[in-house]
Amino acid sequence: MSTTVRHMGKSLSTTRFKPVNSGNSALAISQQLRKKHHLGETIIHVLLFLSGAISILTTIGIVFELTKESLLFFSSDGVNLIEFFTTTAWQPTIGNFGVLPLINATVMTSFFAMIIAIPLGLAAAIYLSEYASHKARSVLKPLLEILAGVPTVVYGYFALTFMTPMLRSIFGTDTVEVYNTLSAGLVMGIMILPLVSSMSEDALSAVPSGLREAAYGVGATKLETAIHVVLPAAISGIIASFIIAISRAIGETMIVALAAGSGPAFTFNPFKAAETMTGYIARISGGDLSYDTPDYNSIFAIGLLLFLVSFVLNIISRRITRRFREVYE
């Protein structure tokens, strides 16, 4: 608020041009005008501030609700924090609440997604920033943007009707189940690829061209310049993009809900069905759930876990990006 007041003072410049000899009426009018403006502007300022503050309320709402219901969950019968993080069976009906199977499935799908998204995304970024002609870039970039804009439920359909049958025809229908973490993970990798490529490309393009020219000047090839000069210079931005990608993979719901299977299973076999944390939340809340049961409360506990993990990953990535900005701007 102090900014407005300060600004008002400046714009009307009352301090310097205060009318010394003018009559009372002129002074009154000027004061009236000032007051009116002041009030209206203050109201607007407050309203705008409140709009900004809604985001804070959202965060507080998320943290408060998730924590409150999670506490309810952890205080209900047969649930305790140590068991939650150490046991490998999730069977709410008979009182087994070990979150490891869900975490394990999330880690597996995210791992497969990263195997696809990180190398391909980085390679695409290097191509777009270092090799592609202006014309090629103007065709490829919008196409990648479209790939990034496809709704996740469509990717889920793609995983189930294309990727899974393909995997089954390669590895045999006996080994590959209809729902499996590999198919979901691979398709998720395709989904995240444009995110990695566009963020990494931004980082690569931000490297000053002087560095490249210096490398060419001492006789380096284009590849040597890209790998030994540009890539190390942009590494923080690239790593930040990887972290954001991991965060996206962990929070992704629809692909795993459709293709990874429903029903928690503690397995390391990529061809078997296993439910992820997000898939579990979607299944439980999609059914007829009654409030204030351990089942219902458990989605909040898992939601809190998801929120914390993605929040921490985002903060780390932001820290890294900031360091990178300080170097080149």
Partner 1 sequence: MKPARPNPLTAEQSGMVIRNRTAGLWKSVFFFATLIAIIALATLILNTCNQAFGMVATVSRTDPATLSEKPLDQLNSTELMDILRKHITTTRLKTLEAQQPLETRTQQELLDLVQERIVQPKIEASWTLFDSIFHRAEIEKIAAEEYPSGVLSFRAWLNPDFILNSMASQAEDSGVRPALLGSLYMIAITILFAFPIGVGAAIYLEEYADKKRWYNRVIQTNIDNLAGVPSIVYGILGLAIFVRLLSPLTSGELFGVDGGNGRTILSAGLTMGLLILPILIINAQEAIRSVPSSLRQASYGLGATKWQTIWNHILPYALPGILTGTILAISRAIGETAPLIVVGASTFISSDPNSPFSKFTALPIQIYDWTSRPQDVFRNSAAAAILVLLITLLSINAIAIFMRNRFSKRI
Does 55 help bind partner 1 (rule: CB under 8 A)?
yes
Residue of 45, 72, 100, 111 interacting with partner 1 (CB under 8 A): 45
**Per-residue interface string for the shown chain with partner 1, residues 260-289, x marking contact by CB under 8 A:** ------------------x--xx--xx---
147 binding partner 1? (CB under 8 A): yes
Residue 102 interacting with partner 1 (CB under 8 A): no
Residue 176 sits in the site that holds partner 1 (CB under 8 A): no
Residue 99 binds partner 1 (CB under 8 A): no
Interface with partner 1 includes 319 (CB under 8 A)? no
Q: Which two tokens stand for residue 104?
A: 């394990």
User: Which residue among 26, 28, 315, 327 contacts partner 1 (CB under 8 A)?
Assistant: 315
Alpha-carbon distance of 22 to 31, in angstroms, equals 13
| b/e map 303-322, b = 16+ CB within 10 Å | bbbbbebbeebeebbeebbe
- Tokens for 206, please give them: 């931000």
Within 178-217, the residues that bind partner 1 by CB under 8 A are 190, 193-194, 197
Q: Which of 31, 91, 221, 293 binds partner 1 (CB under 8 A)?
A: 221
In the bound complex, what is the minimum distance in angstroms from residue 181's beta carbon to partner 1?
Answer: 17
SS3 of 194-225: the string is HHHHHHHHHHHHCCCHHHHHHHHHCCCCHHHH
Q: In the set 39, 146, 214, 327, which binds partner 1 (CB under 8 A)?
A: 146
Give the start-end residues of each E strand in 8-132. Answer: 90-91, 96-97
Q: DSSP class of residue 297?
A: H
Residue with tokens 């309810």: 72
Min separation Cβ 146 and partner 1, Å? 6
**Token digits for 80?**
């305790």
